[in-house]
Structure 1
Amino acid sequence: MIKKISAENIKELRNKTGAGMMDCKKALEATEGKIDLAIENLRKKGLASANKKSTRVATEGLIESYIHAGSRIGVLVELNCETDFVARQEQFHNLAKNIAMQVAACQFVEYVSIHDIPETIVIKEKNLEMDKDDIINKPEEIKKQIVKGRIRKRLQELSLMDQPFIKNPEISVEELVKQHIALLGENIKVRRFQRFLLGEGLEKKVDDFTQEVSNIISGY
């Protein structure tokens, strides 16, 4: 016999996950009213369809900011979803904050994903790798394979979505976003970000700027 689920329980689960009312009701019935298990079931169900949601239009969301301790690194991130309802959810806000912190921590990241990297950058990186001394005398096919691997690694370094999540390096930022697509039931996209480093672009008389940036982010 299915346990009767109260409207309050359904509302609580909806507020925590952003899932539809009927999905929440079914998840609670399947778990005999246990909220934590219902959340997990909704997450697993959503993961299976996360890729299907990736083509859906996402024009709502928010712009999140993060200022690192010492006020020397700042980040702005635009995170999009499909509805204002999801945009107001605590989980969505936490995701935006975590992504902003990720950008602050990854000084070499310049693009949201590998697909956003201009072809001119890819060609430039390939040319640089092809001329390196350690492979210059290797057979052409071997050289191409080595360069292909190095380029893949280099492009991943530039891509936010390919970074290991700083709070759980076992998953990537892309996987983190997909988990939230599953949890909240909507397409979620990182549209853009901007990192601000105090003094960037200004002439430094004494300090080495690269070393200074490394020192700033070493707290992660």
Structure 2
Amino acid sequence: PKYISTDDVDPEFIAHEREILIAQALNEGKPRNIVEKMVEGRLQKELKEVCLLEQAYVKDGDITVKKYIENTAKNIGKDIKVAGVQRYEVGEGIEKKSENFAEEVAKQMGQ
């Protein structure tokens, strides 16, 4: 996700996405009054993809991350707030050691 919640989304990002979606809808030949409703629906869908709290919770796709956090906060009796996000990629930061097997064997044999 690019953002934690919809409140964190840059207004310029929303304006840019709105322009793109309006152009796409008009190119499809939709009437102007329908375009506005379509754009809002598509924009909300886009925000669900780029905002962590709006995404489906991985272990239960029926609820969002936001709902899961609310449920967990209620269960433990504490307020929970997502302060940040760190993305990790598998294998990132692992240095691959380059070794020459023949040299290693020769070294062990004392040569």
The runs of at least 4 aligned residues of structure 1 exceeding 4 Å deviation read none
Q: Paired residue for 2:41, among 149, 164, 167?
A: 149
The runs of 5 or more residues in structure 1 that have no matched partner are 1-108, 200-220
Q: Paired residue for 1:182, among 38, 63, 74?
A: 74
Bigger fraction of residues in strand: 1
SS of equivalent to 1:182 = helix
| Residue aligning to 1:116 | 8
Asked if residue 135 in structure 1 is aligned to residue 26 in structure 2, the reply is yes
Q: Number of paired residues? A: 90
User: How many Å apart are 1:135 and its aligned residue?
Assistant: 3.5
| Residue aligning to 2:87 | 195
What amino acid is the match of 1:135? Answer: L
The 1-side partners of 2:72 and 2:34 are apart by 41
User: How many Å apart are 1:138 and its aligned residue?
Assistant: 1.8
The 1-side partners of 2:33 and 2:54 are apart by 27
SS of equivalent to 2:85 = strand
| Residue aligning to 1:126 | 18
SS of equivalent to 2:87 = strand
Residues 54 and 65, structure 2, Cα contact 8 Å, conserved in 1: yes
User: How many Å apart are 1:172 and its aligned residue?
Assistant: 1.0
The CA deviation string for residues 5-28 of structure 1, in whole angstroms up to 9 with x for no partner, is xxxxxxxxxxxxxxxxxxxxxxxx
TM-score (norm: length of structure 2): 0.74
User: How many Å apart are 1:149 and its aligned residue?
Assistant: 0.5
Say what the alpha-carbon RMSD is for the aligned residues. 1.6
Task: Give identity over the alignment, percent.
Answer: 28
The runs of 5 or more residues in structure 2 that have no matched partner are 94-111
What amino acid is the match of 1:182? Answer: K
The 1-side partners of 2:88 and 2:20 are apart by 28
SS of equivalent to 1:179 = helix
SS of equivalent to 2:70 = helix
The 2-side partners of 1:156 and 1:170 are apart by 14
Structure of greater Rg = 2
SS of equivalent to 2:83 = strand
What amino acid is the match of 2:66? Answer: E
The 2-side partners of 1:185 and 1:145 are apart by 40
Residues 26 and 32, structure 2, Cα contact 8 Å, conserved in 1: no
